[in-house]
Structure 1
Amino acid sequence: MEYKVYAEDITLNLLKLVLSVGLLIAGLSVMGAMTAHVISLTVTMLLLFYFVHRLIPLNRPLSGAKRNSAEMLRFTLPLYLSRLLSKFSGSIETLVLGSFNIMSEVGIYTTALRLSSIGSLFHYSLQRIAVPMISDLHDRGKLGELNRVYQVMTKWGMTFNLPIFLTITIFAKPLLAIFGSDFVAGANGLVILAFGTLFNASTGVCGSIVTMTGHSKLTFANSIIYLGTNIALDLLFIPQWGGLGAALAVTLSGILINVLRLIEIFTLLRIWPYDRSFLKPLTAALISAGATFLINKQLMLLVPSLLQVAIGTLLLWSIYTLAIVLLKLSEEDRLILGRLWGRLNTWRS
């Protein structure tokens, strides 16, 4: 896990930034950005090979190695194909918008998509932490404990995503206005995309559970269903509504596949992520959203839009955090979060 962070999260992104800025200053424009991307990926790939060699020496003798290539291929090939489909599906809306000559919507939609994806950051971090725990608990047959981890991961994915969703929903127009007045037209699409991100976080680590409990073929099937649904909805909605239709298509596709995963996990393992404790973050969200909305109506008349966003966001997050603290963590939350923190500290050391 730490090697992946060093290579993909730090080296790749840092190299992209430094090289892109340097080559753009040198006057290479788009070609500079493309060159920076290729160089960064190449360096990251070489670094990953080095880390693999440290873990499993690539020059070791193979004569005494125990190999089960067929079994490994049966498990990993569907995952590889699933990853390819996921990479492709991330660009479908942009391609369809371009194919229908709605080029004016491409930039607005892409900006809205990037803003809405902020809510995914903590969710992806939870997934990375959860993967080894899911595999370990399933291998040891501890489905009861796996269910508790599933519930806590899901609840905290939703808990951390709710204030981000509320911030984007309340301040969609001033946030997009940062990029230019033309981008404000994408406010409704941004809210729809942010809801899709919230729904994804609120279904927890269901995708990781399907994969890490040995159902890689099911993961591949889910990717095919998602891709097919996404393309169909894009062709249905984008000609009518442009960027808004693209946002609606990707959100509905995500909701469908996550509901399907929830059903699959319940059918296969008889575990379910939701209970009454989910009412706490929802209550905190209602309180903070109501207070921020009322105060924001006054701020709109008194301060510039950027200052309005800054004050409103600080207010919303403060009220939300206070409400979460007052509603208190359950003993199970403390136990599981303590284990997560301990595992995170182990990786750091």
Structure 2
Amino acid sequence: MTENRDEQSTGDSLATVLSGGALVSAGKVLALGFGFFTQIAMARLLTEAAYGNVVLALAVVNIAGLVAKLGLDDGVMREYPHHEDDPAEAHGVVRASTVITVTSGLVTAIVLFLAAPTIARVVFDDASLIPLFRIGSIAIPFITTSSVAVSLARGARDARVQAYVRQIFQPAARLLFVGGLLLAGFNAVGAISGQIAAIVLAALAAFYMARRSLPSFDVSPNPMYRSVLAFSLPLIAVQGMGFLNSNVDVYMVGYFMNSSSLGVYNISLQLGNIVNSILGTTGFLLPPMLTRLQQRGQNTEMLRTYQVVTKWMVVLIIPVFIVLFFAPRLVIGLFFGESYTRGTLALRILLAGKFITIIMGLNSSALIALGKNRVVSYIVFCETAVNVAINFILIPVIGFEGAAIGMTISTIIGDALGVAILYRRFGLHPFTRSVLSPVAAIGVVSTVGYGTLWLLGLPTYLTVGLVGIAYLPIIAILAPEPEDEKLLTQVEDQTGYDLEVVRDVVSSFR
């Protein structure tokens, strides 16, 4: 009976995580589409230099927003489910996070507005960035409010705010505003203004939806300001170094090279980040679910939930990785223009590192969800130090490919440390036969296919077609596990749809 309860609990956890992940992933597909066309609009309607200035301005605004959040977005994602069984404390978490984030956002916005001339002239030696920074400062209170609203809903295991607002409404509004203002001739100022308008509207929508997703508390809130800040503030270092590690290549390419080179590299970076987006969307509800399972002492369920979610992240990312890795010049040239194809090698380097990190799973998010935020800060510090050092050495020598190398090496080191600590502290790891076997099989098919096409003098991007033919049989034979059948049954029960065709397809290959 205990075993049956455990299995049912594992199935319930997986159903919650993967159903939320499916919703967020579907929203992310639309977000990527809207974002893709936004990037195309800016790349086509702005000069490479102006596009680079927009990238720098948005990076500075995002840093300011990161500081203003005070780590509350990740903090409440754990604190709310941690206190969820006590309505007074849960209500206190909601109130404390809302009050703190609004206040911090307003203060940070004022500071950035006043400091814009200094940042533009001293840091970037470009006075034309001043109006871009000042327009961007308007968004900061809305960035913080939106992030905490999404995190509160996420802590309640509700993925709808993230999917509907952050991944559909905001990207669609951004494309509409940015495209319209650029066509009207407002250039870089129009691109920034369109981005900010979308952020403002999305923040209002996120706050409204988050209130509806949380329960109607019928008790007075306990004062949770100290508790929320005590857990969240150390996460500023984690987020700050994580953001620096994710963007240090942008800053250092902008410092060592011209704006045109930054624009080219940013296209490769954005395409590479498609892999990261799938990682974050598929496992969107994994951290709060791990928090709840830890609270209940369900260690077996934690392990299997973590492993199965990792497997499906790998399965989903393989087709995207294959297309971008084996046909980078075709993708970049088709969508962004031939002038950006200089970033082909950088994109391949970035993709290689990102795919390895996918296999290692959401280790940092899992450690934060399990209360080890300080450990994550040490990991991210090490990762950032490695990234900065490699960038500093390689960018002046080989250009933005050096930035891609630094990002790849540092990310692999950080994830390796995260996996090791997660296993040592909690016995969690992402490695199973159902994860590694499909990767190995598709790796062999890709390598043999690419080498054969190259020897025959045929276009090597045809590797994409070869892997596409082999993908479904490999996944159907090597990936399924007993939990997947139980999960499929639960999905049928919850949705009312008969998914027997899925079973038939898998059986036909097996």
TM-score range, shorter chain: 0.7 to 0.9
Q: Which of the residues 254, 277, 292 maps onto 2:434?
A: 277
Q: Is the 8 A contact 1:284 1:324 kept in 2?
A: no
Shift of residue 31 of structure 1?
1.1
- Quote the residue 1:289 is aligned against: 446
Matches for 1:132-147 after TM superposition, within 5 Å: 132-147=288-303
Check whether the contact 2:328–2:344 (CA below 8 A) recurs between aligned residues.
yes
Which blocks of at least 5 consecutive residues in structure 2 are unaligned? Answer: 1-158, 497-510
Q: Which residue of the other structure, out of 297, 301, 313, is the alignment partner of 2:464?
A: 313
**Which whole-Å deviations, capped at 9, do the CAs of 1:256-303 have from their partners, x for residues lacking one?**
1111111111121122221333342124313531464267549975xx
1:225-244 equivalences under 5 Å are 225-244=382-401
Distance change in 2, residues 1:280/1:165 (3 Å):
same
How far did residue 176 of structure 1 move?
A: 3.2
Does the alignment pair 1:38 with 2:159?
Answer: no
Taking structure 1 as reference, are residues 279 and 256 closer, same or farther at Cα in structure 2, changes over 3 Å only? closer
Deviates more, 1:6-15 or 1:48-57: 48-57
Greater alpha carbon shift after TM alignment, 90-99 vs 15-24: 90-99
Residue pair 2:434, 2:478 contacting (<8 A) in 1 also: no
Q: Secondary structure at the match of 1:128?
A: coil
CA contact (8 A) 2:306 2:430 kept: yes
Shift of 1:343: 11
Q: Which residue of 2 aligns with 1:224?
A: 381
Q: Which amino acid aligns with 2:379?
A: N
Q: Give every structure 1 segment of 4 or more consecutive aligned residues whose post-TM-superposition deviation is greater than 6 Å.
A: 342-346
Please say which of residues 32-41 and 168-177 is displaced more in the overlay.
168-177
8 Å CA contact 2:446, 2:463 repeated in 1: no
Report whether the alignment pairs 1:69 with 2:256.
no
Q: Relative to structure 1, is the Cα distance of residues 47 and 86 closer, same or farther in structure 2, using a 3 angstrom cutoff?
A: farther
Cα offsets for 1:184-214 (capped at 9, x unmatched): 4332221110011101211112122101111
Q: Is the 8 A contact 1:75 1:217 kept in 2?
A: no
Q: Which runs of 5+ in 1 are unaligned?
A: none
1:87 Cα deviation from its structure 2 partner: 3.3
CA distance in 2, matches of 1:162, 1:255: 18
Report the Cα distance in structure 1 between the residues aligned to 2:223 and 2:420, rounded to whole angstroms: 35
Residue 14 of structure 1 aligns with which residue?
172
More off after superposition, 286-295 vs 255-264: 286-295
Shift of 1:140: 1.0
**CA distance in 1 between partners of 2:253 and 2:436 (Å):** 39
Q: Which piece of structure 1 moves more, 93-102 or 284-293?
A: 284-293
Q: Structure 2: which amino acid aligns with 1:331?
A: P
User: If the length of structure 1 is used for normalisation, what is the TM-score?
Assistant: 0.85
Matched to 2:308, the amino acid is: V
Match of 1:5? Answer: 163
Deviation digits for residues 70-118 of structure 1 (CA, Å, limit 9, x no counterpart): 2221112223443344334333212211211354432221111122222
Alignment correspondent of 1:82: 238
| 8 Å CA contact 1:129, 1:344 repeated in 2 | no
CA distance in 2, matches of 1:42, 1:202: 36
CA distance in 2, matches of 1:329, 1:261: 26
- Contact 1:108-1:186 within 8 A present in 2 as well: yes
Query: What amino acid is aligned across from residue 158 of structure 1 in structure 2?
Result: V
Q: Which residue of 1 aligns with 2:404?
A: 247
Which of the numbers 256, 281, 285 marks the counterpart of 1:100? 256
Match of 1:258 among 412, 415, 421: 415
Query: Matched residues in 1 for 2:389 and 2:494: separation?
Result: 41
Counterpart CA distance in 2 for 1:40 and 1:299 is 50
Which of 128, 132, 151 aligns to 2:307? It is 151
2-side partners of 1:274 and 1:249: how far apart?
25
**Taking every aligned residue pair, what percent have the same amino acid on both sides?**
24
The one-letter code of the counterpart of 2:469 is S
8 Å CA contact 2:238–2:380 kept in 1: the answer is yes
Aligned residue number for residue 206 of structure 2: 48
